C-alpha cells in the first residue's frame, strides 16, 4: 500500500470469495502503522467478521475503507446489496460471521449507511477506550403497514435460539459447499433466495423482540412480514430439508438438528406461510408432538432446577458428561453430588449396556433421530457399590439460553415408595406432566394479556376455566408433585407473580414441595424450598396461621419484622421480601376435615394488589387443590400396597449349573397401575427346574392379590405332585375355580431338565398364555406353540396338552407377558414378528443384556406391566 497520510481514507476492493476475509484483515493491519496494538487487533478482528458477513449474506464484491483520526480508527465495509440490512440475531451465534454481535460488544460506535447502489456497515474504535453512544443497527426496511402480519404465540426463547443457530450453521455450510459441487442438491438460485429470507426472518424476529423485550422464557411476538414472502419461505424450507439430509449423511460438518428443534422450525415456517395465506395463529404449546419431541418445560434450562428437584434427576451435556445432579439421584446411586459432576454418564450405566449407550448417543448426534428421548424406559442403573438399581428412565432435551442442548434424565425407582414420599417433582425436563397449554386452543389475545400481567380482575368465564385447568392438572398426572408444580405454573401465568405450595410431612413438619415464579429469569430461591422450620406454638405469622386452618388470609403489605415470632415466621417473611412481594393471599389446603398444607399466592410491588374480591376465587382454588391432594395420596397408598405386594412375590432365581437364568419386571409407564403379571422359577425335588410366567386379568389391588395366591397355589401343587405340566395347570385351574369363580388368568408352566448327555429339554403347558420364543445362537427364531390351551377360569374340566421341545446349546428361551409386545392399532402377528426380529439381533448378547435391551426397545411407554423370564443352556461338558 506504501506510505500514506493517516488522515486519509485508504480502501481496498475484494472479490466474492472466502479468502477475502483474510485479505481484509491483512489490509487493515497494514493500514494501521503506529496504532496501539490492542486497537489494531480489535479492528482486524471486527473487519474480518464484517467481511465474512458480506460474503455469506450479501454475496457481492466488497470494499473495505480504513481511516485513522485523532488516534481513533474507523473501518467501513461496503457491499452492493443495499436492500439487505444488517441482521442482529439477539443471541451470540457460534462459528464465523458473528460480526454484528462482536461489533456491538467491542466498538465505540457503529452503524449502517444505505444508498441507492450499496450499503456500508461501519464501526469506530476510540483511542482512550471510552465508548460513545452506539448508533444502533437498522434491521432492514420495515415493510409497509398494509403488508402481512404474523403472530407467533408462546415462543420459547431458548428453543428459538437453538433453532436460529442451527439454521444459520446449515446455511453457512451450504454457502461453502455449493461452489465445490458436492451434490447437496441445492440449486444456486434457491440457495440465494434461502439465504435472503433466512436473514429476513432473523431480522423480523429481532425487531419484534426489540419492540416487546422480556426476560421470560416464553412470549408472543408480532412480526411485520411482506405479504409476498410465502414463496421465499417455502424455498428456504426445501433448502433446509436438503441440508438436513446432507448432514445426516455426514456430507456437511454441521450435525443434524434434534427432533424438537426440527419441529419448532417447521412450526415457525408454517406460522409464517399459513398466516400470510389467511390462516390463524397456532400456539407452539398446543402443537401435537411425538414422545421424543414433547417437553413440558418452555423456560431455558438452569442447573438450579435440577438441584432443587425431589425426583432423582441428572443432566448431561452434548459431550456425555454430567453437568448437574440432585441429592435424591446421588443418594439413589450411592454418590455425593459433587463427586458425580464432571464424570461421564457411563459411570452410572452397567457395564453390559455401556457400549449400547455410547452407540445410541453417537447415533442421536449424527442422525438427529432418537429411540428413547421423551419416553419412559425401564432399565438398570449402576450403584456405586456395583449392584444394579432398577429404574424407569425419562430423558428430555432442553436448551440453555445460549442455545446449547442439555439432556435431563429422571430416574424413577422401580420399587415402592411410602405414601408421602416424592414419586416425582417438577424439575426441568419433567416428562410426566404435560405442558400447560398442551391440548388446548390458544387463549384470545386480550385474555392472554390480562393473564400475564395480572393487572385486571378475571371474568367469570376465565375463573371457571382456571378452576377446570387446575382440576385437570391434578387428575391428569401420575404423581402428586408433578401435578402441584403444574398447578403452580397455571396460577403464576394467570393469577400471581409467584406461588408456593407447602405440605405437612408430619405432625409439625412442613415441606415446600414447589416454589414457582412467573419470570423464569428471576432470582433463584433454592434456600426457600424443601423442609421448612417446624410449626411450633410460638409461630404467629400468616403461614403458620394458615397451616392451623385460618384463612384465606389477605396480606396487602409485607408483615413487619416484629411478627417473626419463630423460625417459620422469619423464613416466610424473608421469602416475601426476597421476591419483592406487594400483596399476597395465604390459604389452608383442607379436605375431609384434614389440613394438608397451605397455598401462597403473591404479586410483586407495583402490580394490582390482591383484594377482598380475590378471596372467593382463592377459596375455590384451594378446595379443588386439597381434594386433588387427598385423592392422589389415597391412590398412591393403594398403588404402593399393590406394588410392594407384587415385588415381594418376585422370586430370586435358582442357581443352576450350565443354565443361565435372568428375569425382569417393569410396571406400566403410562397408567402407574399394577396388575397381575408375574414370573417364577424354582427347583423341584425331582431335579427339574420349574419356569412360570403368568398374567391375572386387571390392573388393581385385586389383580395383584389374585396373582399372589395363584403363584402360591401353583408352587404348592408343583412341588407336592411333581406331575406333568398339563396336570399341574389342571389342578391349579380347579383350585382357582373353587376360590375365585370370576377370576381369569393366563399361565405357562414348564419343566426344564438336563439329560445324561448334557442336552436340555423344555416340557410345558400353556393356559392361554403367549407362546415361548426360542432363539438359537445363529439368530433363528421359533415360537413353541404346541401345548396351548384355555386360560384359567374358563373350563377347569377341559383337557390340557403338554409340549416337548429341545433347547439347543447357547439358545435363548424367552417367556414374556403381553405388555412387552402388544400395542394399540397393531395386530398380534405384527407384534410377534417384531419380537422375533429383536431377539434374533440379540441372539449372542449376554443374557442380562438380552433382557435389558428388550425392555429398552419394546418396553418404552408400555401401557401394561411387563414380566420377562429368559434362560440359556450351556454346551455339554
Between CA 286 and CA 291 the distance in angstroms is: 14
If we measure between CA atoms, which residue out of 871, 306, 276, 217 comes closest to residue 522?
217
Is residue 1 in a domain? no
Is residue 140 in a domain? no
Residues 841 and 810 in one domain: yes
Q: How many CA atoms lie within 13 A of 173 on its CB side?
A: 23
DSSP assignment of 575-607 = HHHHTTEEEEEEEEEEETTEEEEEEEEEEETTS
Final residue in a domain of this structure, among 640, 658, 674: 640
Between CA 152 and CA 543 the distance in angstroms is: 40
Is residue 30 in a domain? yes
Residues 557 and 577 in one domain: yes
Residues 200 and 171 in one domain: yes
Burial of 225 (0-12, 13-18, 19+ CB in 10 A): buried
Locate 116 and state its grid cell. Answer: 441507492
Residues 428 and 456 in one domain: no
Final residue in a domain of this structure, among 640, 673, 692: 640
Distances (CA, A) of 749 to 271, 650, 662, 816, 841: 58, 16, 17, 12, 27
Is residue 309 in a domain? yes
Whether 87 and 123 have beta carbons less than 8 Å apart is answered as no
Between CA 539 and CA 567 the distance in angstroms is: 8
pLDDT at 207: 80
What is the C-alpha radius of gyration for the chain, rounded to an integer number of angstroms? 33
- For residue 143, the Cα-to-chain-centroid distance in whole angstroms is 38
Neighbours of 721 (CB within 10 A): 11
Give the 3-state DSSP-derived string for 445-464, with helices as H, strands as E and coil as C.
Answer: HHHHHHHHHCCCCCCHHHHH
Residues of the chain with pLDDT under 50: 1-4, 89, 91-97, 132, 134, 138-146, 181, 295-296, 415-456, 672
Grid coordinates 397455598 are at which residue? 599
- Give per-residue pLDDT as tens, 106-164: 888 888 888 888 889 989 988 766 554 545 554 444 444 446 889 998 888 888 888 88
Q: How many CA atoms lie within 13 A of 152 on its CB side?
A: 28
pLDDT at 777: 95
Grid coordinates 432423582 are at which residue? 312
- Distance between start and end Cα atoms, the chain: 88
Q: What is the CATH number of the domain that holds 844?
A: 3.60.40.10
Whether 65 and 11 have beta carbons less than 8 Å apart is answered as yes
Grid coordinates 401353583 are at which residue? 714
Between CA 574 and CA 398 the distance in angstroms is: 32
If we measure between CA atoms, which residue out of 685, 692, 690 comes closest to residue 707?
692
The three-class DSSP label of residue 234 is helix
Residues 618 and 665 in one domain: no
Neighbours of 228 (CB within 10 A): 11
Q: What is the CATH number of the domain that holds 424?
A: 3.30.450.20
Locate 366 and state its grid cell. Answer: 449424527
Is residue 447 in a domain? yes
Between CA 658 and CA 656 the distance in angstroms is: 6
Residues 424 and 570 in one domain: no
Residues 86 and 232 in one domain: no
Count of domains observed in the chain = 5
Is residue 190 in a domain? yes
Is residue 136 in a domain? no
For the chain, how many residues are written? 877
Between CA 272 and CA 202 the distance in angstroms is: 13
Please give the residue range of the domain that contains residue 84: 10-125
Q: What is the CATH number of the domain that holds 567?
A: 3.30.450.40
Residues 561 and 661 in one domain: no
Between CA 824 and CA 838 the distance in angstroms is: 19
Residues 805 and 862 in one domain: yes
Neighbours of 153 (CB within 10 A): 21
Is residue 665 in a domain? yes
pLDDT at 298: 55
Residues 634 and 668 in one domain: no
Between CA 197 and CA 142 the distance in angstroms is: 14
Final residue in a domain of this structure, among 640, 674, 700: 640
Beta strands in 671-818 (DSSP E): 676-683, 689-696, 745-754, 760-767, 773-775, 781-783, 788-789, 803-807, 812-816
Residues 452 and 429 in one domain: no
The model carries a pTM of: 0.64
Neighbours of 598 (CB within 10 A): 31
Residues 805 and 701 in one domain: yes
Amino acid at each position: 500500500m506504501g506510505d500514506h497520510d493517516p488522515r486519509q481514507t485508504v480502501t481496498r476492493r475484494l472479490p466474492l470469495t472466502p479468502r477475502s476475509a483474510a485479505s481484509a484483515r491483512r489490509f487493515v493491519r497494514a493500514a494501521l502503522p503506529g496504532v496501539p496494538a490492542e486497537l489494531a487487533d480489535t479492528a482486524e478482528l471486527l473487519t474480518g467478521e464484517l467481511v465474512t458477513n458480506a460474503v455469506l449474506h450479501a454475496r457481492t464484491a466488497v470494499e473495505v475503507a480504513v481511516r485513522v483520526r485523532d488516534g481513533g480508527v474507523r473501518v467501513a465495509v461496503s457491499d452492493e446489496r443495499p436492500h439487505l440490512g444488517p441482521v442482529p440475531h439477539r443471541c451470540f451465534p457460534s462459528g464465523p460471521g458473528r460480526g454484528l454481535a462482536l461489533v456491538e460488544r467491542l466498538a465505540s460506535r457503529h452503524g449502517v449507511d444505505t444508498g441507492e447502489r450499496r450499503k456500508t456497515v461501519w464501526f469506530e474504535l476510540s483511542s482512550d477506550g471510552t465508548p460513545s453512544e452506539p448508533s444502533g443497527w437498522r434491521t432492514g426496511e420495515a415493510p409497509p403497514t398494509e403488508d402481512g402480519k404474523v403472530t407467533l404465540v408462546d415462543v420459547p426463547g431458548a428453543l428459538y435460539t437453538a433453532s436460529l443457530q442451527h439454521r444459520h450453521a446449515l446455511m453457512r455450510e451450504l454457502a461453502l459447499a455449493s461452489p465445490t459441487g458436492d451434490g447437496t442438491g441445492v440449486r444456486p438460485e434457491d440457495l440465494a433466495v434461502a439465504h435472503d429470507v433466512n436473514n429476513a426472518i432473523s431480522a423480523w424476529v429481532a425487531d419484534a423482540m426489540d419492540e416487546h423485550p422480556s426476560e421470560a422464557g416464553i412470549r408472543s411476538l408480532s412480526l411485520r412480514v411482506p405479504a409476498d414472502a410465502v414463496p421465499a419461505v417455502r424455498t428456504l424450507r426445501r433448502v433446509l430439508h436438503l441440508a438436513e439430509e446432507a448432514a445426516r449423511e455426514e456430507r456437511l460438518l454441521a450435525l443434524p438438528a434434534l427432533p424438537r428443534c426440527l419441529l419448532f422450525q417447521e412450526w415457525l415456517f408454517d406460522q409464517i406461510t399459513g398466516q400470510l395465506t389467511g390462516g390463524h395463529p397456532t400456539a407452539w404449546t398446543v402443537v401435537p408432538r411425538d414422545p421424543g419431541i414433547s417437553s413440558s418445560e418452555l423456560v431455558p434450562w438452569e442447573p438450579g432446577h435440577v438441584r432443587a428437584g425431589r425426583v432423582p434427576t441428572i443432566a448431561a451435556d452434548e459431550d456425555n458428561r454430567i453437568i448437574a445432579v440432585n441429592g435424591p439421584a446421588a443418594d439413589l446411586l450411592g454418590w455425593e453430588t459433587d463427586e458425580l459432576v464432571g464424570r461421564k454418564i457411563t459411570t452410572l450405566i452397567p457395564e453390559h449396556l455401556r457400549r449400547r449407550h455410547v452407540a445410541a448417543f453417537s447415533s442421536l448426534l449424527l442422525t438427529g433421530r432418537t429411540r428413547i428421548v421423551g419416553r419412559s424406559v425401564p432399565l438398570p442403573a449402576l450403584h456405586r457399590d456395583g449392584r444394579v438399581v432398577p429404574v424407569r428412565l425419562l430423558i428430555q432435551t432442553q436448551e440453555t439460553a445460549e442455545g446449547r442442548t442439555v439432556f435431563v434424565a429422571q430416574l424413577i425407582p422401580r420399587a415402592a415408595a411410602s405414601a408421602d414420599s416424592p414419586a416425582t417433582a417438577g424439575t426441568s425436563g419433567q416428562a410426566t406432566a404435560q405442558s400447560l397449554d398442551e391440548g388446548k386452543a390458544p387463549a384470545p389475545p386480550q385474555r392472554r394479556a390480562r393473564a400475564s400481567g395480572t393487572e385486571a380482575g378475571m371474568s367469570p368465564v376465565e375463573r371457571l376455566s382456571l378452576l377446570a385447568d387446575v382440576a385437570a392438572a391434578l387428575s391428569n398426572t401420575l404423581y402428586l408433585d408433578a401435578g402441584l408444580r403444574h398447578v403452580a405454573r397455571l396460577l403464576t401465568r394467570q393469577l400471581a407473580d409467584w406461588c408456593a405450595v407447602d405440605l405437612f410431612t408430619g405432625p409439625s413438619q412442613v415441606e415446600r414441595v414447589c416454589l414457582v415464579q412467573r419470570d423464569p429469569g428471576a432470582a433463584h430461591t433454592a434456600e426457600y424450598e424443601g423442609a421448612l422450620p417446624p410449626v411450633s406454638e410460638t409461630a404467629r405469622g400468616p403461614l403458620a396461621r394458615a397451616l392451623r386452618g385460618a384463612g384465606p388470609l389477605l396480606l396487602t403489605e409485607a408483615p413487619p419484622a416484629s411478627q417473626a415470632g419463630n423460625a417459620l415466621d422469619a423464613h416466610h417473611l424473608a421469602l416475601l421480601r426476597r421476591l419483592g412481594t406487594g400483596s399476597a393471599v395465604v390459604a389452608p389446603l383442607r379436605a375431609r376435615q384434614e389440613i394438608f398444607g397451605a397455598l401462597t399466592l403473591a404479586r410483586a410491588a407495583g402490580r394490582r394488589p390482591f383484594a377482598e374480591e380475590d378471596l372467593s376465587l382463592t377459596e375455590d382454588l384451594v378446595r379443588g387443590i386439597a381434594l386433588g391432594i387427598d385423592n392422589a395420596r389415597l391412590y398412591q397408598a393403594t398403588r404402593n400396597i399393590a406394588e410392594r405386594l407384587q415385588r415381594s412375590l418376585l422370586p430370586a432365581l435358582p442357581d443352576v449349573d450350565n443354565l443361565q437364568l435372568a428375569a425382569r419386571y417393569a410396571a406400566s409407564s403410562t397408567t402407574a397401575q399394577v396388575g397381575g403379571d408375574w414370573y417364577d422359577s424354582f427347583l423341584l425335588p425331582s431335579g427339574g427346574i420349574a419356569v412360570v410366567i403368568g398374567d391375572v386379568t386387571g390392573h388393581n389391588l385385586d389383580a395383584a392379590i389374585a396373582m399372589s395366591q395363584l403363584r402360591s397355589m401353583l408352587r404348592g401343587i408343583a412341588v407336592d405332585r411333581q406331575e406333568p405340566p398339563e396336570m399341574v395347570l389342571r389342578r391349579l385351574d380347579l383350585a382357582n375355580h373353587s376360590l375365585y369363580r370370576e377370576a381369569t388368568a393366563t399361565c405357562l408352566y414348564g419343566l426344564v431338565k438336563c439329560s445324561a448327555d448334557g442336552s436340555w429339554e423344555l416340557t410345558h403347558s400353556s393356559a392361554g398364555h403367549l407362546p415361548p420364543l426360542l432363539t438359537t445362537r445363529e439368530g433363528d427364531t421359533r415360537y413353541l406353540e404346541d401345548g396351548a390351551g384355555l386360560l384359567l377360569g374358563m373350563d377347569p374340566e377341559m383337557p390340557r396338552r403338554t409340549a416337548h421341545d429341545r433347547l439347543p446349546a447357547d439358545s435363548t428361551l424367552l417367556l414374556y407377558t403381553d405388555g412387552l409386545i402388544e400395542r394399540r392399532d397393531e395386530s398380534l402377528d405384527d407384534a410377534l414378528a417384531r419380537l422375533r426380529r429383536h431377539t434374533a439381533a440379540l441372539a449372542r448378547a449376554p443374557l442380562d443384556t438380552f433382557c435389558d435391551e428388550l425392555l429398552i426397545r419394546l418396553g418404552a411407554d408400555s401401557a401394561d406391566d411387563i414380566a420377562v423370564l429368559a434362560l440359556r443352556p450351556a454346551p455339554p461338558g
